[in-house]
Structure 1
Amino acid sequence: MIQGKKILYLTYDGLSDPLGQSQILTYLSGLSKLGHEITIVSSEKKGNDGLISTIKEDLRNKGIEWVNIPYTKSPLVLSTMYDVYKMQRACKKLCNKKKYDIVHCRSYITSLIGLMLKRKFGLKFIFDMRGFYADERIDGGMWNQSSILYRFIYRFFKNREARFLEMADYSICLTDDARREIHNWKSIPGQPLPIQVIPCCADTNLFNYSLFDPEEKKQLADELSIDKEDIIISYVGAVGTWYMLEEMLDFFVRLRIRYPASKFLFITHEDQRSISKHAAERGIPTENIIIRKVNHKEVPLLLSLAHLSLFFIKPVYSKRASSPAKQGEIMSMGIPIICNSNIGDIDQIIRDSNAGAIVRSFTDEDYDFVISQIPQLLKEPKEKIRNAAIEIFSLAKGIKKYNDVYKNL
């Protein structure tokens, strides 16, 4: 058995956040089982005290050390700088006590610290970039370039991005499209850089349509006033910024023309009033919109009621590096996906696996064309779609890829 590595894992996303629970903890728990000695440093938001205690106990039982730094919300920019200072101080203290082999940094903020630790303590540095962080902030309207401050911040992180990629012993991105793009950045020395592609993986054991018996599903359908003849199209996750609520509702308007007995099931933590308001503006009856807020483990049962799942993502440059966690979860449930093109590897995966249909433009004509394919989509075997998800998005596959990177350093 190959001896495990001592890993210092840094994340500015909290373990008590939904993403921390569904992605970070599952990966690191699996890597710990493979023999790696893991210490996590994260930034945790106020109000999650009960959950933090539960996570701490769970990690202790798994032999994973956890140092959590309180997240500072404001003032903007200065609060992040202060959090970086606190995390850096905690990391130096840890490195003075223990000899780590690797500092594994999730995204750009923590990589500022990771690069320092590589220089000061001789650690191998993994730049787990996730998406194109600085470009996402521009495309999402979060860093307004009419502001001198945000122009400076954007240039700073674009320069750091190149430096992280150059200095990293290994980099990780979410899509093949992003890797191809990075390999075309000729200004960075050492091309082609060592990059592993690991998409956002799904817990295919949790998201499994065969776990739910018909009576359980019927009881939930009755609670939601879903009739046997209804066509249910679902949406999972946050709306706004990247996810195009209004266009998705426009699609649903066209769907109801062909399938009047259709209902749109939103599984989201978002404010229900915004969804209801936009639906009402389009003349969608309230009984055709179902909105439910549930914890992550309750999502699969709700999803099991859906015949189709829909998501539209803003098609901008930074989304070449995007891998929505929802894609693997939906496909694991054997549900065909309707989504738009030019987002990471999504359309390539759907084409290769026959797991859905692609909207080329946000027009009634394209919506109607995709809607005409629904009878065929509903005939696709659930098992076939699920098997494609297991091949591409399973946690086991993601953990193996991370383990391969660790072993190579």
Structure 2
Amino acid sequence: MQKTILYISYDGMTDQLGQSQVLPYLCELKNYGFDFHLISCEKPEKFKQHKGIIEAICEKNGIRWYPLAYTKRPPVYSTIKDIRNIRRLAFQLQKQHHFDMVHCRGYIPALVGLQLKKKAGVRFLFDMRGLWANEKVDAGSWNLNNPLYRSIYNHFKKKERQFFENADYTISLTQAGQKEIGSWKYIADNPVKIEVIPCCADLTLFDPVRVEEDLVARIRKDTGIHNGEPVLSYLGSIGSWYMLDEMLDFFNVYCRKYPSARFFFITGDQHDLIRNKAAEKNIAAEKIIIRPATRNEVPASISLSTHSVFFIRPTYSKISSSPTKQAELMGMGVPVISNAGVGDTSAIIEKYKSGIVIKDFSEMSYDEAIERLQRFSEGRESIRNGALQYFSLDEGVKKYLRVYKHILDQY
């Protein structure tokens, strides 16, 4: 008998994240007989650009999509408004479809999922994605010296406990996060069911063999990157978590070993900021290349990389972080340079010999890392095989399927 699932995401499907980390899973899980209803909150400009693409994907795969508008301002009140809109729609849909389970991607959706469980008896999957309240503090978004934000933080930490205690199952992105949660007293006293599923990648898309040469040639023409030229790349958004200054410092050291190297930012974000920061560090303008990429262009863009770098602020909350870019870069066989203290990133790099983990953000550490890169013996095929073992969408789907069956078969 077909099971009906309500999937709630605060991230939009018209964002890259929705296209890489939500829809691929739902499209695959749909094949196992689940009827998905999808609520998401869409940024107006992204929705206008990509609405048709997402509608086509959902229609093709029999997913019923209910997009809501995401509001950003004023802070706090806009989020309260979004939560109310999600809750109103979720309960309307519950009356019509009598869901067997609600799959909540993150803390904001989990507020609604918890209510659906308590008021309507809907089984509840808490797909936590990270220690969200702690992330807000670590990012500087919530200043705990401000009574308003301290109150909000305390509210969500109380809710977090309720999510764990009431969820039929919880998903953690990392082993490190699962271990940390298991050490909390209220969890240690009453263990909860947690499955670890990292941010996987569609490794049929992120496959060097499938990259179209015509597309690579077009990107080379757009960027001026020549075949055989050393290229250090950075993939993804430039936000408060990513250490742009330190990555540019690393590139300066990289250029000592690879004098003709270029730094290729595959991003649609903050082009002026990147160029200004590079200029401050006396990096020649022609060495910095910035080009946004659609999802289908990302693998071809990555394929131009000799190496790729991502430094992430190693704060407490980042123990639960699983960078999607790591899966995608490994899928393309590109050696990475990253820092310790971010989820399972270091453990994965070391286990699958897929790159170099720096000790700290010093020039000496950068120099040592680049020396090791020059002696790096792992081939691209070996790195990709590591991705197939750990990050494949198929493996992620299998894990979700086990969790779904456990939740739905226990009643």
TM-score range, shorter chain: over 0.9
Per the TM alignment, residue 188 of structure 1 is displaced from its structure 2 partner at its CA by 3.5
- What are the Cα deviations for residues 309-330 of structure 1, in whole angstroms up to 9, with x where unaligned? 1000001000000000000000
CA RMSD of aligned residues (A): 1.5
Aligned CA distance change for structure 1 residues 369 and 403 (closer, same or farther; 3 Å): same
CA contact (8 A) 2:238 2:270 kept: no
How far apart, in 2, do the equivalents of 1:247 and 1:83 lie? Answer: 36
Residue 269 of structure 1 corresponds to: 268
How far apart, in 1, do the equivalents of 2:188 and 2:381 lie? Answer: 45
SS in 2 for 1:68: strand
Residue 18 of structure 1 corresponds to: 16
Residue 27 of structure 1 corresponds to: 25
Residue 303 of structure 2 corresponds to: 304
Aligned CA distance change for structure 1 residues 215 and 37 (closer, same or farther; 3 Å): closer
5 Å-filtered alignment, 1:1-80, equals: 3-47=1-45, 48-80=47-79
Query: What's the TM-score once normalised by structure 2's chain length?
Result: 0.95
- What are the Cα deviations for residues 314-367 of structure 1, in whole angstroms up to 9, with x where unaligned? 010000000000000000000101000011000000000010000110001100
Residue 156 of structure 1 corresponds to: 155
CA contact (8 A) 2:318 2:342 kept: yes
How far apart, in 1, do the equivalents of 2:218 and 2:66 lie? Answer: 43
- What are the Cα deviations for residues 235-260 of structure 1, in whole angstroms up to 9, with x where unaligned? 00111310000000000111111221
2:91 pairs with 1:92? yes
Letter in 1 for 2:392: S
2:197 pairs with 1:186? no
How far apart, in 2, do the equivalents of 1:285 and 1:386 lie? Answer: 33
How far apart, in 2, do the equivalents of 1:187 and 1:130 lie? Answer: 20
CA contact (8 A) 1:100 1:123 kept: yes
Residue 127 of structure 1 corresponds to: 126
How far apart, in 1, do the equivalents of 2:63 and 2:189 lie? Answer: 35
Query: What's the TM-score once normalised by structure 1's chain length?
Result: 0.96
Residue 394 of structure 1 corresponds to: 392
Q: Pick one of 385, 405, 408 that aligns with 1:407.
A: 405
Per the TM alignment, residue 100 of structure 1 is displaced from its structure 2 partner at its CA by 1.2
SS in 2 for 1:165: helix
How far apart, in 2, do the equivalents of 1:219 and 1:18 lie? Answer: 22
Residue 349 of structure 2 corresponds to: 350
How far apart, in 2, do the equivalents of 1:313 and 1:289 lie? Answer: 20
How far apart, in 2, do the equivalents of 1:176 and 1:147 lie? Answer: 33
Residue 201 of structure 1 corresponds to: 200
Aligned CA distance change for structure 1 residues 119 and 219 (closer, same or farther; 3 Å): closer
Per the TM alignment, residue 183 of structure 1 is displaced from its structure 2 partner at its CA by 0.6
Letter in 2 for 1:29: C
Q: Structure 2 unaligned segments of length 5 or more: list them.
A: none
Letter in 2 for 1:385: I
Per the TM alignment, residue 69 of structure 1 is displaced from its structure 2 partner at its CA by 1.7
5 Å-filtered alignment, 1:240-279, equals: 240-279=239-278
CA contact (8 A) 1:265 1:291 kept: yes
Per the TM alignment, residue 395 of structure 1 is displaced from its structure 2 partner at its CA by 0.8
Per the TM alignment, residue 287 of structure 1 is displaced from its structure 2 partner at its CA by 1.4
SS in 2 for 1:187: helix
Residue 83 of structure 1 corresponds to: 82
Residue 177 of structure 1 corresponds to: 176
How far apart, in 2, do the equivalents of 1:249 and 1:23 lie? Answer: 28
CA contact (8 A) 1:166 1:189 kept: no
How far apart, in 2, do the equivalents of 1:385 and 1:69 lie? Answer: 40
Aligned CA distance change for structure 1 residues 215 and 168 (closer, same or farther; 3 Å): closer
How far apart, in 2, do the equivalents of 1:374 and 1:174 lie? Answer: 28
Per the TM alignment, residue 4 of structure 1 is displaced from its structure 2 partner at its CA by 4.3
5 Å-filtered alignment, 1:298-377, equals: 298-377=297-376
Per the TM alignment, residue 216 of structure 1 is displaced from its structure 2 partner at its CA by 5.8
Letter in 2 for 1:16: T
Letter in 2 for 1:371: I
Per the TM alignment, residue 225 of structure 1 is displaced from its structure 2 partner at its CA by 2.5
How far apart, in 1, do the equivalents of 2:288 and 2:39 lie? Answer: 41
Q: Structure 1 unaligned segments of length 5 or more: list them.
A: none
Aligned CA distance change for structure 1 residues 30 and 215 (closer, same or farther; 3 Å): closer
Letter in 1 for 2:202: D
Residue 286 of structure 1 corresponds to: 285
Residue 237 of structure 1 corresponds to: 236
SS in 1 for 2:112: helix
